[in-house]
Amino acid sequence: MRQFPVEMHGMAPGRVVEWRLRSTAGPEPVAGGRWASFNQDKHFTVAEESRGADDPVASWVAVTFEVEGALDEGALAGALLVFVRRHEVLRCTFRRLAGELACEPIAPGELALDAVPVASFDSNRELVGYLSERFKRSIDTLSWPLFTMGAVLREDSATVYLAFDHIVCDGLSMPVVVQDVQGAYEALRRGEEPAAATAPSYLDFAEEQRRRYLSFDADDERLGYWKEFVARGGGAFFPRFPLELGVAPGRMYPIVNEASELLDAGEAEVFEKACREVDGKPFMGVLAAVAVCLREAGGPGVYRGFMPVSERGRAGWADSVGWFVNTMPIEFDASPGRDFGQVMAGVREGFGEMMRHIDVPFVRAWQLLAPEEFAARSWPYPVNFFSYIDTRKVPGAGRHEEWRPATHVWSARANGVCSWFQRDAHGLHMNSIYVDTAAARRTMEGFQEALRRTVREIARHGSFGRPLGLAAPRGPVGSALGVGAVARRP
């Protein structure tokens, strides 16, 4: 299971049907007592403010997967309804009450689905173009429902798709979506009733988080890790992406969304072995390679960045849909002269220190330590960001070869770069969204090619290989890395 732009999906054309959710109870006032998480509140606030300024911020995360054989439309509709009823956050409506963001779920029995025939598409290009535009038009943070569901039907197969607003899910929710819908669909096809139990609710997670951190202030000792990180960065809350992207302060840009393979399956296995030999994990090896590539392109010797970390494993949320992600700062030494093992030791130490402070919610740290920047609708400048998921370990992974799931993300605009790395049974992959400027295209093309060469050197020799700065004369930022990275159709 990997992540790539939906426009790169090679799905065959066919007849599209959507299932649209509605409440049979009609609109009712949101009751007090159930409150959104810090992530949700900030996300909703940005949507409100951008809508008021006629400067809408839009994004979505989607998942697609395959069903073999002629699709049973009734069974799929039933499976989708079971899925929505199972996850409380998907049934929530959001509303401002006395300044706080309240959320109240619609009762499972008050939901219904309507099948809506869309159109038949004769080419892949027309189909993925429709899906891309459909997701953009249908996903609205301020309107319920906060997701769309449908399928592309063919005589002997179907591609199912679901696209969500970030307010109700995260990247690790996507494997849960696939497992739940496929499991319910297969049960209904066998004439069985799917399991009716609801999953542990993200709303409970949000309430626990707010109870622990809503009242603490900037003097709380639990913010010590964040304060030290900020102080070492010269007072900057956000760690800056160190390469040239050609962006102007305060401006947002259209995006480039691209994906490529860094290692094939065999190379990824050898890469993991090389990481284990220096007492590290594969994600640490990738992060070490990223840090060295950034440094060789003109960045600092000390890597400073943000890293999203899942909070699912602490209290049994593994099979729940929701935004169980905390964003944390990480810092380690990747200066010249340090070999692979030494940089990996720094990554391991930096990651361990970060995890000791994982409980403090990013949004609360941001609000308390950088209140002026918190009031803005976006991060203030390009931020260094690293994300890694091993999808061989997620729910349902044992059947991914059969289901062929994929994740797709999109954002209307950006002012920097975000990169996500995924390990699956077929190798190591990278998906990046970044600003569409000439400088950013040059920088990211060179960075991706240098990173590909570096992780292959680690796999082959357990080292970073020849210093990247010797590969070409040092010129404008990014030119020393060379060229050649391309987006590949999975």
**Exposure b/e, 123-158, CB count within 10 A at least 16 = b:** eeeebbebbbebbeebbbbeebbbbbbbbbbeeebb
One-letter amino acid identity for 141? T
Q: What's the confidence (pLDDT) of residue 25?
A: 82
> Is residue 258 one of the residues assigned to a domain?
yes
Provide the number of structural domains found in the chain.
2
Identify the CA nearest to 482 among candidates 454, 456, 457, 445. Answer: 445
- CA–CA separation, 304 and 298 (whole Å): 14
pLDDT digits (tens, 9 = 90+) for 178-201: 999 999 999 999 999 998 789 999
Identify the CA nearest to 170 among candidates 38, 34, 320, 36. Answer: 320
> Is residue 490 one of the residues assigned to a domain?
no
- CA–CA separation, 80 and 184 (whole Å): 8
Q: Are residues 154 and 22 in the same domain?
A: yes
Q: What's the confidence (pLDDT) of residue 488?
A: 34
> Is residue 86 one of the residues assigned to a domain?
yes
Neighbours of 172 (CB within 10 A): 24
- CA–CA separation, 463 and 257 (whole Å): 30
> Is residue 489 one of the residues assigned to a domain?
no
| Mean pLDDT score across all residues of the chain | 92
Task: Give the list of residues 6+ apart from residue 202 with CB closer than 8 angstroms, or none.
Answer: 37, 87, 88, 89, 168, 317, 320, 321, 322, 323, 324
- Say what percent of the chain tops pLDDT 90: 88
Q: Are residues 95 and 153 in the same domain?
A: yes
Q: What's the confidence (pLDDT) of residue 28?
A: 56
| Per-residue CA distances from 281 to 7, 287, 289, 348 (Å) | 32, 10, 13, 9
Mean pLDDT of 124-134: 97
pLDDT digits (tens, 9 = 90+) for 103-121: 989 999 999 999 999 999 9
pTM over 0.75: yes
| Strand ranges, E, within 321-454 | 325-333, 386-390, 406-411, 417-424, 427-435
Mean pLDDT of 432-451: 98
pLDDT(426) > 50: yes
pLDDT(162) > 60: yes
Q: Are residues 6 and 60 in the same domain?
A: yes
Q: Quick one: the chain helix, strand, coil %, rounded to 5? A: 40, 25, 35
Mean pLDDT of 54-64: 84
Q: What's the confidence (pLDDT) of residue 485?
A: 34
Half-sphere exposure of 328 (CA within 13 A, CB side): 22
CATH number for the domain spanning 367: value is 3.30.559.30
How, if at all, do strands 417-424 and 427-435 pair?
A: antiparallel
> Is residue 19 one of the residues assigned to a domain?
yes
- CA–CA separation, 314 and 342 (whole Å): 30
Q: Are residues 162 and 259 in the same domain?
A: no
Q: Are residues 357 and 381 in the same domain?
A: yes
Q: Are residues 193 and 264 in the same domain?
A: no
pLDDT(408) > 90: yes
Q: What's the confidence (pLDDT) of residue 477?
A: 38
**3-class SS of residue 162:** strand
pLDDT digits (tens, 9 = 90+) for 458-477: 999 999 976 544 333 333 33
CATH number for the domain spanning 66: value is 3.30.559.10
- CA–CA separation, 427 and 446 (whole Å): 21
- CA–CA separation, 396 and 483 (whole Å): 37
> Is residue 488 one of the residues assigned to a domain?
no
Q: What's the confidence (pLDDT) of residue 196?
A: 74
Which residues is 411 bridged to in the sheet?
59
The 3-class SS string of 204-240 reads HHHHHHHHHHCCCCCCCHHHHHHHHHHHHCCCCCCCE
Q: What's the confidence (pLDDT) of residue 26?
A: 63
Identify the CA nearest to 39 among candidates 199, 144, 169, 226. Answer: 169
> Is residue 211 one of the residues assigned to a domain?
no
487 pLDDT band (50/70/90 cuts)?
Answer: very low
Domain that holds residue 141: 2-206
Domain boundary among 148, 171, 206: 206
Q: Which residue has the higher pLDDT, 30 or 399?
A: 399
- Dihedral of the alpha carbons of 105, 23, 42, 431, in degrees to the nearest 10: 110
- CA–CA separation, 469 and 297 (whole Å): 7
Residue 246 backbone class (left: φ over 0; alpha: ψ -120 to 50; beta: rest)? left
Identify the CA nearest to 297 among candidates 431, 443, 172, 133. Answer: 443
33 pLDDT band (50/70/90 cuts)?
Answer: low
- CA–CA separation, 131 and 11 (whole Å): 11
Asked which of 55-64, 201-210, 292-301, 426-435 is least confident by mean pLDDT, the reply is 55-64
Q: Are residues 96 and 239 in the same domain?
A: no
> Is residue 486 one of the residues assigned to a domain?
no
Q: Are residues 238 and 188 in the same domain?
A: no
Mean pLDDT of 55-63: 85
Q: Are residues 200 and 304 in the same domain?
A: no
Neighbours of 350 (CB within 10 A): 23
Q: Are residues 416 and 350 in the same domain?
A: yes
- CA–CA separation, 329 and 240 (whole Å): 12
DSSP-assigned letters across all residues of 246-313: ---TT--B-EEEEEEEEEEHHHHHHHHHHHHHTT--HHHHHHHHHHHHHHHTT--SEEEEEEEEE-GG
Q: Are residues 326 and 414 in the same domain?
A: yes
Identify the CA nearest to 179 among candidates 389, 421, 405, 490. Answer: 405
- To which residue do tokens 């404008």 refer? 476
- Say what percent of the chain tops pLDDT 70: 92
Q: What's the confidence (pLDDT) of residue 55?
A: 62
Asked which of 17-31, 278-292, 373-387, 414-428 is least confident by mean pLDDT, the reply is 17-31
Domain boundary among 158, 184, 206: 206
Q: Are residues 86 and 148 in the same domain?
A: yes
pLDDT digits (tens, 9 = 90+) for 143-160: 999 999 999 999 999 999
Domain boundary among 179, 206, 233: 206
